[in-house]
Structure 1
């Protein structure tokens, strides 16, 4: 009997942030369940965090390796300091990653790297291995990033914070978004000077990622079809396979991603509290894994939410508040009547809970697409990167909520929370329900994301078989 051919081997390289690691680990599990051999390469720092949380123990069929990120162990790697990783990793990690790939007993058929880890595309090319790129942002965010240099040349960058033209539409017309994106809505790096290293980094990474053989993106055709079509003018192939978390739930109902344990310790006590609350009565609040709030910002949100007289569940990371070791006692004491303060919560379950009626969010893409899939309207308060684009699209393009970027006063927050939770805007309620249905349908067998995912798997198998044929001839 002939020996069974080995499964195609894929190496996945996420950028070391919670919002990047989570979707790429879900992708790893989906590929593994499709009979592909998967190796995930995390940084040493994040690998230790995953191991501590048991995230690598239950990931059957997935191998985990790690490499250093070039930063000292005591580096915080949160908030604005996470930007240090952008420059340390390409310089320090690239040769180590190349050595790791070169030493593998089973050379990969393909490398899938985070779009801001584009050095992996160079490494793959040097080793004769195909590379695909994964974008953790929306298609709109990806499309805007591909035009940053054009925006610089047109004078739309830098955006001058507080200037009268922040609400003006862009001078350079980005196809498909001509009447949607204002200067205020551009990624926060667009408020920097054109020669700023962070802006130049994003421009260079976007340019380099276009050299990949395909773009994989965590969105779905029914949400962003026109923009996805534009992205196909840049990449040879685009696979819109989101919402990824819903894809996994579709394969295994009532089961979460077995390998995507949070890098932050998760608390589940909030679920019992939610079970005791009336339907659609709770505002869920979370600003993601990296945002930092000043005490002043925190107190404005708190007063606005308390004054709205709505029930709320607020996920507050231990490191959310700048220069504060703990949540202020006055905040804790004043929330006992209608609120519940938690740490890092199981967000997918929270959003899908019947008691939750709305989401006050930073509009990170994971949070946004999880909210869309769960059918929950949003109040967007973005802070940086693509969050500003997402929040604008939530209101202006998709009619899924209210964009309150650059606003942080208690009276506005109180008013907006009431508007959202009381369903005063019927078009938002209608759009939210319809897009939730389309999101769920997209990942079911025959749906757009399911078809795209199967095409991705087939493309990887073809790369594997082509490599085997070439090796046989040699």
Structure 2
């Protein structure tokens, strides 16, 4: 692919775990192609540079101590973008002055939109990185229209109805369908802000989302590079904000093949005490071994697991393991894991598909509802968990791990795993797309430099 020394990429990451992880993975992949990588990141949730000695790091002071998910999200994003803009511009202007032969391209997370303005001001090429599924975007872009037609926020009797022109999504699968009217209005404001970038890098795979990617290419008329799954392409050390408990691996070693249900609901979702109790007893009554990740503070008002129902720990002794956080990729790759009960964030979805692990889908917010619908209805490698009630939970776990239906789902999941492998090999769609991206970056420099 030629020598790309002197080609410098500045990756502008966002402070959310689900966005930071694939951005660091993208950095690793592009570094292996010969580019020098600088990660510009907020002080909030900043990555640990010692995990990534091959990158330079540029901290941007954002004035935030934590992400307040309950507050005004749009206002948070606006302030975040405003606080970081001049710092990045100042740093890059200096870099351009000091390093005459360095050619810089900015690659920025889609919610760090200030970077696009900085790129324009400094006459640098910029590319947007999207860490969500491609099928999420048409649903998100349609929200303002559905709102104008009076169909949003969704009325209860409409939840199961299909959304016009958004097959296979029902109204209940739309992003932010269950949020407050205030948050919903904020999300609409953001949707109306999306500008057409010069190119998009997407963490996805052509065979998974071919028709949506085709539709998006027609809509945007710009290059879209579907290079995924990044979790399989990057030789990247830990990107987790939370400390991973590796004790679970020796516990998994003692379990029968494909017998364990792994439960993890991501880095942001929360639940109340009743939902915790139903989940606990559902897992216990399923009589299957389980590994359950309960993030500290993920149960409203709790430190960790003090709200677990009385008698639960005795009931599951030797059969269940409850931990704060685990190395998910290692867990999903383990032969003992037979199913993944997930919130269906896109990183978790791709990791599960890459490892051939079928899913129980319990989405919570944002793009997760869209992903869950595709997993259960289109790709058919997941079961939708309609309600957090112990009998419903037991039923879903037994269907996936014990019944014939689960065997069929597992076959499809294994087929998908093979397709993922093929897409990453020479001549595969993601392999080719990555080479096209490298070529595009190199040529884009040449055009800007002329």
TM-score for the superposition, normalised by structure 2? 0.92
Q: What is residue 222 of structure 1 aligned with on the other side?
A: 207
Q: Distance in 2 between matches of 1:401 and 1:5?
A: 42
Matches within 5 A, 1:391-470: 391-405=372-386, 407-425=387-405, 426-468=407-449, 470=450
- CA contact under 8 A between 2:201 and 2:227: conserved in structure 1? yes
Q: Name the stretch that deviates more: 121-130 or 450-459.
A: 121-130
Task: Decide whether aligned partners of structure 1 residues 167 and 5 sit closer, same or farther in structure 2, where only a CA change above 3 A counts.
Answer: closer
Q: What is residue 257 of structure 1 aligned with on the other side?
A: 236
Q: Distance in 1 between matches of 2:318 and 2:428?
A: 44
- CA contact under 8 A between 1:362 and 1:387: conserved in structure 2? yes
Offset of residue 190 of structure 1: 6.8
Q: What is residue 340 of structure 1 aligned with on the other side?
A: 321
User: For 1:50-79, what per-residue CA distance to the aligned partner results, in whole angstroms no more than 9, with x for missing partners?
Assistant: 33xxxx2242431111112232x3x3x265
| Count of aligned residue pairs for this structure pair | 438
Q: What is residue 311 of structure 1 aligned with on the other side?
A: 289
- CA contact under 8 A between 1:139 and 1:224: conserved in structure 2? yes
User: For 1:390-436, what per-residue CA distance to the aligned partner results, in whole angstroms no more than 9, with x for missing partners?
Assistant: 0111011100111225x211111111111111143254223211111
Q: What is residue 202 of structure 1 aligned with on the other side?
A: 190
Offset of residue 108 of structure 1: 5.2
- CA contact under 8 A between 1:268 and 1:346: conserved in structure 2? yes
Q: What is residue 21 of structure 2 aligned with on the other side?
A: 22
- CA contact under 8 A between 2:108 and 2:126: conserved in structure 1? yes
Matched, 1:115 2:110: yes
Q: Name the stretch that deviates more: 57-66 or 350-359.
A: 57-66
Matched, 1:173 2:165: yes
Q: Name the stretch that deviates more: 219-228 or 333-342.
A: 333-342
> Any stretches of 5+ residues in structure 2 without a counterpart?
none
Q: Distance in 2 between matches of 1:262 and 1:81?
A: 24
Q: Distance in 2 between matches of 1:68 and 1:334?
A: 48
- CA contact under 8 A between 1:351 and 1:374: conserved in structure 2? yes
Offset of residue 81 of structure 1: 5.1
Q: What is residue 322 of structure 1 aligned with on the other side?
A: 300
- CA contact under 8 A between 1:169 and 1:182: conserved in structure 2? yes
Q: Distance in 2 between matches of 1:189 and 1:122?
A: 31
Q: What is residue 293 of structure 1 aligned with on the other side?
A: 271
Q: Distance in 2 between matches of 1:196 and 1:412?
A: 30
User: For 1:283-309, what per-residue CA distance to the aligned partner results, in whole angstroms no more than 9, with x for missing partners?
Assistant: 000000011111111111111111111
- CA contact under 8 A between 2:291 and 2:320: conserved in structure 1? yes
User: For 1:154-197, what per-residue CA distance to the aligned partner results, in whole angstroms no more than 9, with x for missing partners?
Assistant: 3332113xx11110111x313xxx2x100000012575548944
User: For 1:9-45, what per-residue CA distance to the aligned partner results, in whole angstroms no more than 9, with x for missing partners?
Assistant: 1111121111100000000011011000111111112
- CA contact under 8 A between 2:4 and 2:34: conserved in structure 1? no
Q: What is residue 150 of structure 1 aligned with on the other side?
A: 145
Matched, 1:360 2:341: yes
Q: Distance in 1 between matches of 2:207 and 2:21?
A: 23
Offset of residue 102 of structure 1: 2.1
- CA contact under 8 A between 1:116 and 1:202: conserved in structure 2? no
TM-score for the superposition, normalised by structure 1? 0.87
| Root-mean-square deviation (Å) | 2.1
Q: Name the stretch that deviates more: 148-157 or 191-200.
A: 191-200
